[in-house]
Amino acid sequence: MKIQAFVIVGFLFFLLGSNAGYAEESLQDLIDQTPENGTLQLEDKTYEGNIVISSPITIIGTKETVIKGEGKGNVITVKASNVTLKNFSVINSGHDRNSGEEYAGIKLMKDGNIVDQIKITDCFHGVYLSQSHHNKVSNVTVIGKENGEIGGQGNGIQLYYSHQNELVNNYIEGTRDGIFFDYSHENISKGNEIQHTRYGLHYMYSDRNKFTKNRFSYNIGGAAIMESRGTILENNQFILNQGTRSYGLLMQSTNDTVITKNLFFQNQRGIYFDQSQKAIVKDNEFLQNQIGVEVWASSADQVFSGNRFSNNIATVLTFGGKDNNQWSENGKGNYWGNSISVLDLDQNGIGDYPVEYKSSLYQLVEDNELAYLFLKSPAIKVYEKMNEVLNKKEVMVTDQFPLVEKGTINENNNLYIIILLLMVILGSVYWKRKRRRA
């Protein structure tokens, strides 16, 4: 009996030991076993559980690799520098809004990391940089709950006290805000596409950041720049950002901003300025917006030059009293399309005289905020024409050096040319008759 018992115990030990030896290692175990500066290649499968990376390693997946979090906390927390995450999907972070920590699919807490070719879904924030510098986040796709409660989800990419990072070629859709900057300086955002969010870009207390070749479309607000200075916005597209008091670009309490070579197309308002100083607004195109540029008198010393205004319902509206902004620089004003008649008889591309843009809409909008909702109505054109006849339009802009395309004739100049020709003909007839009588 003793021998039989011994055999049975030995057999059970063998089975248990055998099963333990073949137990599947967790992703965290694999990460902990990867040597510093080593590479961990993931398989075509789903790895479950939150992970923490505490040493400089590279993790590379495939299109079929998924890291699925526990539904609480961050899915991936990076607590080391020089970590590379590449080519896999991340899902299922915590969504607890009562937590002291804002959870994310990927949270970076150190410097010099690379996040590339990652798809993030069902996470509160997509990628969150917390006091994390010199990182590169590129080719990341973040998909939020577009039709869900906006407050119930976070942002696509968020930077908190994080400086000198690069955000390149990322795609964000349906999150609360696309990219959120908070006390984060000298970052570069290039080639990102953001749509169907509250604010495509939400930006506060952050200085000297540069945004180039980004596309903000179908958001409530394209980009909101607040309480910041030294921002550069170049070659971006702000398209179809529509809603109640919506805008392509909001500039509020900003200083020394450079806004150049951007496209503002079919927004409720192309650019909105409030309490902002010393912006350079140059060589932008404002096409088919309800209001091209809206400027409040609290904003001063903006310089507008080389901009093209075409087919906006209201080209420029100024509010709150006389503004102190400049609509030309170094002998170069703006292209006004058919909204202002510009006479250029010598065809040098610069108007022969200063011009004024007048409108009566400013009073309507200032008195009744709901007027924004009716700017597309045909009645607005009737309202403007009626006030033109009654001479109740106010000067919104004076451009000392309006621009005209060389070799072209502004449609509104036809009347001027006809009048000049008639004056020449009538003058010629008058002098001929006078000579005959003499």
Q: How many CB atoms lie under 10 A from the CB of residue 348?
A: 10
The answer to whether residue 4 is domain-embedded is no
Are 270 and 304 within 8 A, CB to CB? no
For 87, residues 6+ apart whose C-beta sits below 8 A from its C-beta are: 60, 61, 62, 63, 65, 116, 117, 118
**Confidence at residue 260, expressed as pLDDT on a 0 to 100 scale:** 98
Token pair for 135 = 């990182």
* CA-closest candidate to residue 190, choices 208, 167, 164, 224: 167
Per-residue confidence in pLDDT tens, the chain, 438 aa:
444 544 444 444 444 444 444 457 999 999 999 999 999 999 999 999 999 999 999 999 999 999 999 999 999 999 999 999 999 999 999 998 777 789 999 999 999 999 999 999 999 999 999 999 999 999 999 999 866 666 679 999 999 999 999 999 999 999 999 999 999 999 999 999 999 999 999 999 999 999 999 999 999 999 999 999 999 999 999 999 988 789 999 999 999 999 999 999 999 999 999 999 999 999 999 999 999 999 999 999 999 999 999 999 999 999 887 778 999 999 999 999 999 989 999 889 999 999 999 987 776 676 666 666 667 677 666 666 666 656 668 899 999 999 998 755 554 444 444 555 566 566 666 666 666 666
pLDDT tens readout for residues 139-197: 999 999 866 666 679 999 999 999 999 999 999 999 999 999 999 999 999 999 999 99
Residue 278 falls in which region: left (phi positive, over 0), alpha (psi -120 to 50) or beta: left
* CA-closest candidate to residue 293, choices 318, 266, 321: 318
H helices of 349-413, where?
A: 361-367, 378-389
Q: Which long-range contacts (CB under 8 A, 24 or more apart) does 172-175 make?
A: 172/126, 172/141, 172/142, 172/144, 172/197, 173/142, 173/143, 173/144, 173/146, 173/197, 174/143, 174/144, 174/145, 174/146, 174/147, 175/126, 175/142, 175/144
Residue 186 Cα to chain centre, angstroms: 16
User: What global pTM score does this model have?
Assistant: 0.86
pLDDT tens readout for residues 188-200: 999 999 999 999 9
Are 206 and 222 within 8 A, CB to CB? no
The answer to whether residue 320 is domain-embedded is yes
Dist CA 423 CA 427 (whole Å): 6
For 210, residues 6+ apart whose C-beta sits below 8 A from its C-beta are: 187, 188, 189, 231, 232, 234
Are 404 and 410 within 8 A, CB to CB? yes
**Number of compact structural domains in the chain:** 1
For the sheet with 269-274, list strands across it.
51-53, 76-78, 104-108, 125-130, 157-160, 177-182, 199-204, 221-229, 247-255, 269-274, 291-296, 314-319
Token pair for 257 = 């901003």
- DSSP 8-state class, residue 297: T
Dist CA 410 CA 289 (whole Å): 20
**Confidence at residue 83, expressed as pLDDT on a 0 to 100 scale:** 98
The answer to whether residue 436 is domain-embedded is no
**Confidence at residue 360, expressed as pLDDT on a 0 to 100 scale:** 79
Dist CA 431 CA 359 (whole Å): 41
The answer to whether residue 435 is domain-embedded is no
**Confidence at residue 14, expressed as pLDDT on a 0 to 100 scale:** 45
The answer to whether residue 387 is domain-embedded is yes
The answer to whether residue 16 is domain-embedded is no
Q: What is the CATH number of the domain that holds 225?
A: 2.160.20.10
Burial class (CB in 10 A: 0-12, 13-18, 19+), 7: exposed
The answer to whether residue 12 is domain-embedded is no
The answer to whether residue 429 is domain-embedded is no
- Mapping DSSP to helix (H, G, I), strand (E, B) and coil, where does residue 153 land? coil
Domain encompassing residue 270: 28-422
Are 60 and 39 within 8 A, CB to CB? yes
**Confidence at residue 97, expressed as pLDDT on a 0 to 100 scale:** 79
Are 267 and 290 within 8 A, CB to CB? yes
In sequence order, the β-bridge partners of residue 303 are 280, 326
Burial class (CB in 10 A: 0-12, 13-18, 19+), 235: middle
